[in-house]
Structure 1
Amino acid sequence: MGIYQITVDADSPPQILLGQNLGGAIVTKLEQVKQELISAADLAKAYNLSVTTIRNRLAAINQGTGGKHMYNPEMAHQMLKKDNSNKRGRKRAN
């Protein structure tokens, strides 16, 4: 009998229960791994934004130093996914 580890990266927790049979194996342990901090450059690639834009939008949750900007991936995702565009003026008349 061996111990195998499966890593799942998802927005919501998977529907796996203790004692469940998965591919001939029984689930005996479930735990959530603490996420590492992610850099502004990695977030810029993921969201197709500039590094400067990422740093400006996430200045409130910066956990790194002034030269090394590091962010919690969950909090960064929540702040970057909402639309921050400022709409000014009247609506366009078609």
Structure 2
Amino acid sequence: MGALQEYLIVVESNKPPHVTIGQNIGGAVVKELKEVEVKLVSAAQLAKIYNLSVNTIRDKLVSINQGTAGKCLYNPQLAHNVLTTKNQRGRPRAN
């Protein structure tokens, strides 16, 4: 047999995949698992994704801002959680 070669497979998901070290996948054995650091995104990028204005994004995400006052940067996973939760006010409607 020849020399072993390394291959890299990138997976994007909301939850980590169910893969274990030593598992045989497609004729290859898993040797290492790493979680990649999350890259921060700007308010403009989030505004494009969620169809909101940049000012609305900055107002809603002021608590998780990781940039400066001029350059607002956010963790996309935390931003998704904050922007998609519904705030219910008052008592529920009686039908």
Q: TM-score, length-normalised on structure 2?
A: 0.82
Q: 2:79 aligns with which of 70, 73, 76?
A: 76
Unmatched runs of 5 consecutive residues or more in structure 1: none
Question: CA offsets, 1:45-67, max 9 Å, x none?
Answer: 22222211111100111111122
The AA in structure 2 aligned to 1:75 is: L
Give the deviation of 1:7 after TM superposition: 1.1
The AA in structure 2 aligned to 1:36 is: K
Distance in 1, Cα, partners of 2:92 & 2:11:
46
Unmatched runs of 5 consecutive residues or more in structure 2: none
Q: How many residues align?
A: 92
Distance in 2, Cα, partners of 1:25 & 1:48:
42
The aligned residue for residue 43 of structure 1 is 46
Distance in 1, Cα, partners of 2:15 & 2:91:
38
Distance in 2, Cα, partners of 1:7 & 1:41:
26
Percent identity, please. 48
Give the deviation of 1:35 after TM superposition: 0.8
Give the deviation of 1:92 after TM superposition: 8.3
What's the secondary structure of 1:31's corresponding residue?
coil
The aligned residue for residue 13 of structure 1 is 16
Distance in 2, Cα, partners of 1:18 & 1:90:
49
The aligned residue for residue 28 of structure 2 is 25
Distance in 1, Cα, partners of 2:30 & 2:92:
57
Change (3 A) 1:2 1:57: same
